[in-house]
Structure 1
Amino acid sequence: MIISDDPFRDYNKIVARFRPFEPCAKHISDTATIGQGTIIQPGVFIGNHVTIGENCIIHPNVSIYDHTIIGNNVIIQSNSVIGGDAYYFKRRPTHYEKMESCGRTILEDDVEIGALCAVDKGVSGDTIIGKGTKLDNHVQIGHDTHVGKHCLIGAHSAIAGVTIIEDEVCIWAQVMINKDIVVGKGAVLLATSAIDKSVEGGKVYFGSPAIEARKKWREIVTLRKIAENYKD
């Protein structure tokens, strides 16, 4: 048992001791492992202790940070960042203190990552993108989030940290998903929705905050009728 008067501070000390930052002087670290048939395009950075499987395509200017694990048949489009630090800060009296990240990012087999995406590594665990899942361009995946198998995530969507997206979820463009919630298997989140709490699988959701789409459409129709009937 460890007793601490400031767990945040002491956690950062532990990370600094056991997982310190390792500079890399090359575009592809000598400690990286790259599988047979994988194509690495110009300008790609592959950090320390990265593992990339077979028959992947990593397009120009992708950055893959330390300790990332990538499966087979993965495609990553240009300018995406895989395994960056978690967005996690503690308010101090005079500043925000950064929580150091020592987790990993794991992309399972057959994953596709669009251009200009960011998949942050876990703070102390793993951020996981499940087998066969496809991300459009400009998608943000927060730290320690687990995205299931065969999901679709549309452009400009953002998923906060420590969230679970179960298998076969369809997330359309510009959807925002709060932290520490669960999106159930097979759910469909329509474009521009804001998911502020856990939702059941197998249903369609829309709105901000999102509710079941049919209820939301009825609500919109009712409001329009009220507006049409309103007289100054």
Structure 2
Amino acid sequence: MSPVPCALPSRRSLLASVALWIAGAHAPAMAADAPTVVPAPTTDPAVAPGDTELVAVLAGGCFWGVQGVFQHVKGVNSAVSGYAGGAEHTAKYEAVGLGDTGHAEAVRIRYDPRQISFARLLQIFFSVAHDPTQLDRQGPDTGTQYRSTVFAQNLEQARIVQAYIAQLTQAKTFANLPIVTTIELQKRFFAAEAYHQDYLTRHPDDPYIVINDLPKVANLRRLFPQAYRAQPVLVGTSA
């Protein structure tokens, strides 16, 4: 049986997290150690004059940290943790945790393209939100439900992401490590249970959050100061 999603407190003891940290299996090096800003995509989807809110769905390991990062990004109207890639009837915490439903823990981001572009969201995603070179895992979490995936909302998004991966690969951005991020087109997103939402904000002292996710938010603030906002947009306030 595959490990459960990043949610059970019994699996988030300080000793277990520290042991993983020492063993080198902690949160992505790009997020928790000394991350660098990766180049932005050279192209970006066209935005119609009347577009005031667009959607991006990104998966990069435990959704607690990915949601927490994008809740601190200016121009993001909402960031909701959930599941994408599988069927509606299995889009539940217990089922996804088995690792065989086809889902990935994902975050649906609604954003204002007049304030932030899809390209900048991708740049943040690949710079600080996760490590795109880790296959079917992120840090201490393993399984296909923790895969790195962009759930493209249309063919244009898919084209932009494909070109971006090729751009970063050609530039050897990740020290010749292959980028394993996949692109899945027009897969449905299902919001996760209420207790997963705003988890980073509500549980800042959780050892898992302290070790794996708070450094991501700190790196967002340090590396993307113009895109960072101190007050996160929470699910409860953005609904």
Same fold (TM over 0.5): no
Q: Please, what TM-score do these two structures have when normalized by structure 1?
A: 0.21
The answer to which structure has the higher helix fraction is 2
The answer to which structure has the higher strand fraction is 1
Bigger Cα Rg: 1
Q: Please, what TM-score do these two structures have when normalized by structure 2?
A: 0.20
> Higher relative contact order by CA 8 Å / sep ≥ 6: 1 or 2?
2
